[in-house]
Amino acid sequence: MRTSEAIETHARVLFDLATVAGVVDAVDSDLASVTKAVRGHVDLHQALTDTTLPVENRRDILRAVFGESVAPETLAIVTLMVERGLTDSLGELARVFGEIAEDRRGIVVVEVTTAIELDEGLRAKLIKQLADAIGRPVNLRERVDGSILGGIRINVAGRVLDGTVKSQLEGVRQALITARQGGEA
């Protein structure tokens, strides 16, 4: 099984366990916390990825660090991933789990690219307008890309609405290239 397939399988199993236990939101939050902790603490990361350290010791480390602060379902899957050498894929697990949870809740993920970071007012207005247009709750995935110069690019379910200055300038450039050349009559 490829790593991406393993991550997908782990995320689906975890989602099913979390659903039965009624802790989907907690597990979603737990995965973000665990990923942040493992990425942010060099010693913890090294201990969990050290294959010379017996598996039981790595389990003990996970229990000591996360045992009281995360749902048992989260701890079980994270432990399994560490045992299988997938520690560096915890972030991917968190992302896939979040996508599964959003899909099951009927939330539409909208990727938004802007030249500068959105402020809270504009973000709230954009979420409301998109939710009204789509008819379902919306979760924004924001990205800042200074190369677009201004405007906004919205990607919803594979459809791209490109209102960036960069794309508009490209359209003008193409129009000028294909325009008939001529002078005064």
Residues 6+ apart with CB under 8 A from 67: 75
- Stated as kind and residue range, the H or E segment containing 148 is none
Cα 104 to Cα 122: distance, rounded to the nearest angstrom: 27
Same domain, 32 and 112: no
pLDDT in tens, the chain (185 residues): 677 898 999 999 999 999 999 999 999 999 999 999 999 999 999 999 999 999 999 999 999 999 899 999 999 999 999 999 999 999 999 999 998 998 888 888 889 999 999 999 999 999 999 999 888 899 888 999 988 888 899 998 778 888 888 888 888 888 888 877 665 55
- Same domain for 145 and 121? yes
Report the CATH number at residue 84.
1.10.520.20
Please report the pLDDT score of residue 179 as a whole number. Answer: 78
Clarify whether residues 65 and 150 are in a common domain.
no
- Give the number of other Cβ atoms within 10 Å of residue 122's Cβ: 12
- The number of residues in the chain equals 185
Structure pTM?
0.69
Asked if 146 and 163 sit in the same domain, the reply is yes
Would 69 be classed as within a structural domain?
Answer: yes
Question: Does 140 share its domain with 152?
Answer: yes
Q: Total structural domains in the chain? A: 2
Element (H, E) at 34: helix 24-40
Domain boundary among 52, 80, 103: 103
Packing angle, helices 90-105 and 3-21, rounded to 10: 50
Query: Is residue 9 domain-shared with residue 64, that is, in the same domain?
Result: yes
The number of beta carbons lying within 10 Å of the beta carbon of residue 153 is 19
pLDDT of amino acid 161: 85
**Do residues 97 and 114 both lie within one domain?**
no
- 131 lies in some domain: yes
Q: Which residues pair with 154 in a beta bridge?
A: 112, 161
Range of the domain at 47: 3-103
Residues 6+ apart with CB under 8 A from 81: 10, 87, 89, 90, 93
Residue 155 tokens, joined: 């990607």
Q: Which residues contact 87 (CB under 8 A, 6 or more apart)?
A: 38, 45, 48, 49, 81
The residue among 103, 129, 157 that closes a domain is 103
Domain boundary among 57, 83, 103: 103
